[in-house]
Every structure is written in structure tokens, then in C-alpha cells.
A and B are shown apart, each in its own frame.
Chain A
């Protein structure tokens, strides 16, 4: 949104000079701009990344979430549009032989924690209540800005959840659970409040597909890592750190994303077609009945990146009382 406003402001400055002589082409430009501003596409991207586990032996869930965080950041979503919920007790855990780092591969090539990580909900703030309040926007008045999901009706939201789960529930921090009906109702609230345009819901837990089985709000695309009755498995085990560092489903997603950047035209169908049950060791599921568009026409950057649509015009266009929008 901000990008378009800046651009239009620049154009307005040029418009003043050309106002008298270009009334004819101005109409064409006006038409173009009207079409541009009335578009049905999303205009901004948000990401909500939730790790519902704490403790040292759940290192891999923190690594899953941080890997996704790095991916969406790399693809262009800024920290101000990412809500990261982590227990965050792993990087500085006394048991960590590599303090202040989190790795997702035994080769330890990328430090996911690094210098540039902004955790919004950390430690005991990652609760079911906070998560639902975040989604529905019913936060208390003194909630800081970085803990609010400031989406509008043209936002695409990528929600990623990982942790320990079961049939129709997900364990939050060893003390409470959220069930699939809660999330379904929260999403319906979001739809009624026009808080999203489309949601991509990805979940990597045991029996993950049950979590989105109860959704009923429109424009929600869901991907889960395992069917009911199946476990999701961890992938790499690091013998220096002494824990498993990544889960299989997330790992194979990240592997696909290594070939994707901001300019890529890969679609969701491409991503889903790379899922290989014999590698993931569980059956990933996709739920498309609530999603209006076709997967072949849905770009990955619609959810994972923050790609701005920019249209350059030759003529200036006045904004303000005389403008079309």
C-alpha cells in the first residue's frame, strides 16, 4: 500500500507540469489507474508463524519455525508484517553447545537465529488465548503494535503451525491445547470482520490434516503434513548438538523453496506436486474446497512473498478530490 502511495505522489508532482497539455491521454491513464486500484488481488502479505512447543528436546520445532521465518523474509515479507511466536528457549539454553544459534542442518551452514530475528510472542506468551486474540484482532488496548495482526480485507495471510499434535488438537507449550474447531471459528470471525483476502494454512505436526478438517470460512487453502492416525517424523539428527534439528515435511518444503525467489512464477500446484510420501514418511494433505482459485494459478509469492504490483504510467495522474478512486 505504501509503495503505491509513494509512486502516485511522485506522479502527482510531474502531473502539475503536464496538466494543460495532456487531457486526452489523461483519460486513458485514469482508466488504467482505476482498473489498477479496483483490482481484486491482494495488496499486502502477512505471515503468522507459530511454534507451539517449548523445551530442549523440541529443538526441531523451533528450527522449523525459524526456517519458515527466514524463507518468508527472504521472499520479501518485512518483520513488521510477520508475527513470530516462539518459546525461544533453545538458542540460549545452557544445553546448547553452540550458544545463541539455531541450526536446521547438521552441516550448520545457516544460523537461523543470527542477528536479525524478531520474535513477537516469546516464552510463556505463546498461549492459545493470545493466538486466537491475535487472529481475530481482539487484543487488549495496551498490546504493542508488533503483536497485532493489522490485516485488512486485501491481505493474504500465511499461517504456519508446528509442534506436537493429535487428532483435532495441537498442544501449546505442554500446558494447554487448541482444537480444530477453535481455529475454524477464529477464521470465520476473521472473514466476517474482513480481516483477510486469502489464507494459506500450513501445519506440520502428528495427524496434522485433522486440524483443518473443520474449517468453514471461505478462501482458505490448507496443507498438512500427515493424515489422521499417522505421525510426522523428524529428519536430520545432529550428533554434535544432540537433538533432531528439522522435521521431514518442513524440510522438503524448504528444499523446494531453495529454488524459489521473489521473482519466481512457481505455483502452489508445483509445490504440492513435489511432495513425496516415501521421503516424508507421512501422507501430506491439501484442502482446496474452500479456496476460490485454482492451485495452478496461485503463485507461491501470493503467500510466501510480498510482491508489489507496480504499474508504470507515462502520464501523471492527480490524486485527491479529483481522483477517480
Chain B
């Protein structure tokens, strides 16, 4: 403030007087620089290659075994149970049959505030680690519907298979909780609140330790899956740790079913710079939109509110693959009751490798970035790369504000009456010119 005040009066140095006169004009270049900086972000020169920061993860270093007959039998068991019983009961019976500690949670929530009430059911089963204390837990979650309101029954069935696989292994260092909800994000949010002990209306009694990381599975109905999509944003700008995203992408590539960010594969390297720029800009805008508007981000989003790193792995049905679209008419689309999950082994092994890496962790993800933007697969922009754009824009506003303060003139010229003030300010400026 003393800088601002000292510019007033006749004894001000030439520098300060020039600043006073021209500071209004400084704000426009600053805003322009900020905008240019933003526009430069989709240009690949400024991107950095991703790398693993957490040494403990050891991604993809262990042989994956998901796909054994017993795992797929669990899926068949669930199918049979789904035909006879109610969905929650079916899941609960399958989990209980594997030896997990299960609980069903019934809750109600405002679907449309003060207008529409809805009820929901969550079922969860806890696999207690045999050789470890239950201080920590991992969560694998699935909703009965996907984010696009498709049926996610394939996701739930794969979850049952994974639960069977996990229950047969002895090397878990933490408990694994398998959750199935029928109300999407709202259901998981309610479940989490109850798990943390914050809910009295629908409490949970069967609980485990603190949750280190979570994974949500979404498999829309399809005959085949051509790839996976990774969704990592939560609401209000919260993101899963970059190590988690990198790890999932890495292990999925090892299983030859690569997980792309938001399901969008890379543009060909031979395409023009404009195509690449546009693709990167679209990817960045997609992330900005999800984070800025706090819209539906996936079943993993509620976990991020509690600082639990979580991502959603979504299968991309093959028919949506543009290359395959040519043959669309020749494919028989499966309805929700598919006898097998296509690519179950690949997707299941990707998730298995993720679970093994999460198992290897000693602490929560803390080594890599929490604030980042991902313009393309395997590339990132850290906060130091994109925040200066915002800082420049804010700086331009600050300079304008400073200028307006200076415009008030010296203290002697100020008075309560706006009219007097304006006359005095005009006179003051006449003096300056």
C-alpha cells in the first residue's frame, strides 16, 4: 500500500508517475499473456512424459492369474442367483458363499431435492486379509447402472469373479471390500458416509480399516470390448494421484487392453499438428468441464471427497469402435444377460494387477502429483505448467484494481460525496496531463 500511496503527491518519482499513468494499459497484455499461455497448453512441446514416482508399486511385475475356472464359476453362480432372488440378495448370497463378511444397507435420499425421494440399496462384502491386521482396506466398487445409464451387469459380474479370485489368495496385506450399489454416485456417497461413521440414518456395522484406494468397474453391455477408459476426476477439481492413473494405464497395456484417458485413444503420430492440437485441446477441455462444473464424474468420485484415490475403469464396447463400425450390421448385439463377459480375462487381469500393485503400497499415494492436467495418454502438465495462466489473468485484474485505487487520487481529494470526488478526480487528472 505504501507503494500505491507514495505515488501520490508531487514528490513521486518519474517511474511511479509513469506507472500511475500507464498501469491501466498493463492489464490488457497480462490478460492476453494468460490467454496465450492457456492456448499453448495443447501444444505438445510443453508436455512432459509420465513416470512412476512411487517405488513400492512394482506395477506389472507379478504374474496375473485371473480367469481360472473357479473365478468364472462365481460369475455363473451370480447369474443363477440373479434369476431367482432380488439383486441385492443375489449378490449378498454369492459374497457370503465365498466367505466374505457381508451387509446390506437400505437408505433413502433426495433424488430431486424436496421433490422426489428415492430409496437405494448397497451391498458390500469384506474379504479379511488372512495374514495381516485389518487396519487398511481397498475398495472395488460397481454400480448396477453405468454413468450413461446403461446396465452395468457385466461390471457386477466381473466384480463377483474378482471377489472369488481375491478370496483364494493369501498375500493380501489389507482387507478388500467389494461394494455394489444401485444408485450410482449417490449410493456410493451414502455408503462411504456410513463407512466413515458419519451417517446415523443408514449405519454400517460390518466395516474394515481405513480405505487406501478404490476402483470402480463399468462395463456397458457389449459382445466385445475393444479397450478401457480411465476416469480420474472427482468433483470440485479433486483428482486421483497421478501415480494411480499411470499405474492402471501401464498394467492395462501389459494385458493388451490399453486403458485410455476417458476412453479416447491417441491420434496417429503421422497426423498434422492441428489434429494433434485439437485432440489435446478437447482432452483438456473435457477435464476442465468435469472438474469445473462438478457434474457426474463416475462412481469413483465420492471417494475423492474423502481423500481416497479412486478411478473408474470403463470398458469400451467394440461396436462403438469407429473402425469396427463398418461391420456394425453384422454383429449381434448382446442384451444384458450375456453368458460370458467378453474379454473377462484381460479386463480381470488388468484389475488384478492393479490390486496387486495397490497391495504393495505401504502408504496412500503421496509421491506423485495431485494437481495435473493430462493432454494425451502418457503425458502430463503439472500445476506449475498451467497455473501461471490463471495467475497472469488474476494479475491483470489486480493491476486494474490498483489503477482504480490510484485514480481515487490523494487522500486530501477524497470526500464522502461522490460528486465532489469526481470533480476533484477530474481536476487531479487534468493536473497530471
Contact = CB atoms under 8 A, between A and B. Distances in A.
B60 to A, nearest CB: 9
- How many chain B residues sit at the interface, stated as a range, is 10 to 19
Nearest to A241: B62
B124 interface: no
B56 A56 contact: yes
B58 A57 contact: yes
Contacts of A241: 62
B190 interface: no
Nearest to A92: B131
A237 B359 CA distance: 18
A94 B61 contact: no
Contacts of B173: 93-95
Interface string B84-108: 0000000000000000000000000
A243 B61 contact: yes
Chain B binding surface, main DSSP class: loop
B362 A55 contact: yes
A56 B357 CA distance: 12
A57 B360 contact: yes
- How many chain A residues sit at the interface, stated as a range, is 10 to 19
Contact of B61 (A93, A96, A99, A242): A242
Interface in A51-104: 55-57, 93-97, 99
A96 B56 CA distance: 14
B62 A242 contact: yes
Chain A binding surface, main DSSP class: loop
A2 interface: no
Contacts of B329: none
A97 B170 contact: yes
B63 interface: yes
B171 A94 contact: yes
Query: Among the interface residues B55, B170, B171, B356, which one has the most CB atoms of the partner chain A within 10 A?
Result: B171
A113 B399 CA distance: 69
A145 interface: no
Contacts of A242: 58, 61-63, 356, 360
A122 B382 CA distance: 41
Interface in B18-34: none
B132 interface: yes
A204 to B, nearest CB: 18
B129 interface: yes
B172 interface: yes
Given A57-B56, A94-B173, A239-B63, 8 more contacts: A57-B55, A93-B173, A94-B129, A94-B130, A94-B171, A94-B172, A239-B62, A240-B62
Interface of A: 55-57, 93-97, 99, 237, 239-243
